[in-house]
Structure 1
Amino acid sequence: MALLGSAIPSEVGLRLLLCPFGSNIVIRTACCTVGIGLPVYSTFKAIENRDCSEQHKWLVYWAAYGSFSLAEVFLDKFLYRCPFYYHMKFAFLVWLQLPTTNGSMMIYRRYLRPFLLRHQARLDHLLGATSNEIAKFVVTHQNEIQVLKSMIEKCATTASQIVKDIIQPGQTEGRNLNDPNNPAPNRLQIQDGSNAPQSTSSQSQDQDPEPDSDD
């Protein structure tokens, strides 16, 4: 029974992944999990454990995955028309990470490293020129950037205050009603009638009763 119970989820998962038309959301979620979620956690563990071999492994993976994502951006109009595209992408991401295949290292050594070494000087010049232009833009528009920064900070403060008011309406309302500087009476006390203000006519009747008339 235990073996049967463990085989049922695996069979259902394989059917969902292998169904080409009915599992688009499932396969895309699987691609995101395998391609980004698990490598992020594995990179975190490699950094915290100070494992140089694991750090090198996941650095190579991120280089290969970044190159694939960059190519995917330019080829998305052609790739997304393929009905089995996400299934092939899922298999490719698994192939990049498997220790037996070590696909990320293969792509890095055969394609990525030779290409970057061949164009390294040109890329360094391009990055240097881009960084200089960004620095000039920041210096030239420093006042506008400060104004934009202050506006973003004000919007963030206002949004956080609105969220607090939505999440804690009862606490905020009770604090305002119980404030001694707030002249508004407590609504609960008004409903009970304990602190409800008396009418002027009743006060005048209590203070100035009419004298009894003499027969």
Structure 2
Amino acid sequence: MAVFGSNIPSEVGLRLLLCPLGSNIVLRTASCSVGVVLPVFSTFKALESRDQNEQQRWLLYWAAYGSFSIAEVFTDKFLSWFPLYYHMKLAFLVWLQLPSVDGARKLYMNHLRPFLLRHQARLDQIVGFFYSEMTKFVSANQGGLQFAKTLLIKILGSAAQVVGGVFRPLQGKPNGATRSIGGPTGREEQASSEIEGITTPQGLNSESEHDE
């Protein structure tokens, strides 16, 4: 039984790594962390340090990653069914970033740069048309966009208030609980003062009669 129990963690780990259906969530999370989260922080450090070599390195990475993401939009539905697809995707993202391999520079210089140079004029027309149409759309729907922006700000403010009310620490509860247990509340104090006000004249009258 001890030997059987010791083999369980290793068996679960092997299934998690080798079974694509069982480990897709883990691998997608790892791919997002390696492909986006770490490069964003590294890009931030490169910009703040003003290191031109690091800035160029991460510019090349984002160019390679953006091209890969565009290709993945059209191929992910088909390639995701292949065994170990997400394992290979994670390995590819690591290959793009490793300084010792410098995969992003190789991908850019060997494939992406020649393609963009060959189709630069056509791509300039497409990008110019896209930006002009986007400017027209924003100008025509400026009122609706402003309304949507105001509505979104109100919704986010209400959501922040609700979350703050739920998670706000209850600092006044212990004092309130102590007062309710150890001493009278405001109504009880008021009632006791009214009773004392009623009984005091009777006590004074009895003392005056006794003196007479």
TM-score by length of 2: 0.71
Cα distance in 2, alignment partners of residues 123 and 83 from structure 1: 36
Amino acid at match of 2:184: G
Q: Deviations over 1:71-90 (max 9, x none)?
A: 11111111110121011112
Please name the residue that 1:19 is paired with.
18
Moved more, 80-89 or 17-26: 17-26
- Equivalent in the alignment of 1:198: 191
Identity %: 48
Residues 110, 135 of structure 1: alpha-carbon distance in 2 compared, 3 angstrom cutoff: same
1:60 partner letter? L
Of structures 1 and 2, the one scoring higher in RCO (CA 8 A, sep 6+) is 2
Matched residue, 1:56? 56
Aligned residues between the structures: 189
Residues 1:156 and 2:147 are matched in the alignment: no
Does structure 1 retain, via aligned residues, the 8 Å contact 2:31–2:93?
yes
- For 1:134-153, what aligned pairs fall within 5 Å after superposition? 134-153=134-153
Higher helix share: 2
Quote how far apart the aligned CAs of 1:51 are: 1.8
Superposed CA offset, 1:111-169 (max 9, x none): 21122122222222222222222222222222222222222222222222222222226
Unpaired segments ≥5 residues, structure 1: 1-10, 175-185
- Which shifted more, 160-169 or 86-95? 160-169
Contact preservation (8 Å) 1:17, 1:87: no
Structure 2 CA distance, aligned partners of 1:170 and 1:79? 52
Note closer, same or farther for the CA distance 1:101–1:136 as it changes in structure 2 (3 Å cut). same
- In structure 2, stretches of 5+ residues that fail to align are 1-9, 207-212
- SS at structure 2 position matched to 1:170: coil
Residues 1:169 and 1:36: Cα distance change in structure 2 (over 3 Å) = closer
| TM-score, length of structure 1 as denominator length | 0.70
SS in 2 for 1:144: helix
Give the match for residue 42 of structure 1: 42
SS at match of 1:104: helix
Matches of 1:143 and 1:45, distance apart in 2: 38
Distance in 1 between residues matched to 2:16 and 2:35, nearest whole Å: 15
